[in-house]
Amino acid sequence: MEKQVVEYAGVPVGITVPEGDSLKFIAVKFPVIELDGSVFRNLEELRRAIHRHLQSGKTLAHGFEIGAPVSTEVPGKALNVA
């Protein structure tokens, strides 16, 4: 087993790293952060877990969408992003 990028709806949401005979999920997108560190038997089990998690609507990232543009604007404040 080797490291793999995990995508959901065409957007990278995390990576897997081998852990014994299993895969450990490392989240890189906030909507799947609750699954970070979880261990799965295989990639298909992980993909099903991500799908169920995002479809449940019970994420910490309620209102965030995978692949949605991120705004750097804060009402009443200007941000300098260099």
Convert the pLDDT of each residue in 53-74 to its tens digit.
998 877 665 555 555 554 445 4
Distances (CA, A) of 58 to 3, 31, 33, 61, 75: 28, 10, 12, 8, 27
Is the pLDDT assigned to residue 79 strictly greater than 50? Answer: no
Instruction: Give pLDDT tens digits for 40-56.
Output: 999 999 999 999 999 88
**Amino acid 58: pLDDT:** 72
Q: What is the pTM of this model?
A: 0.72
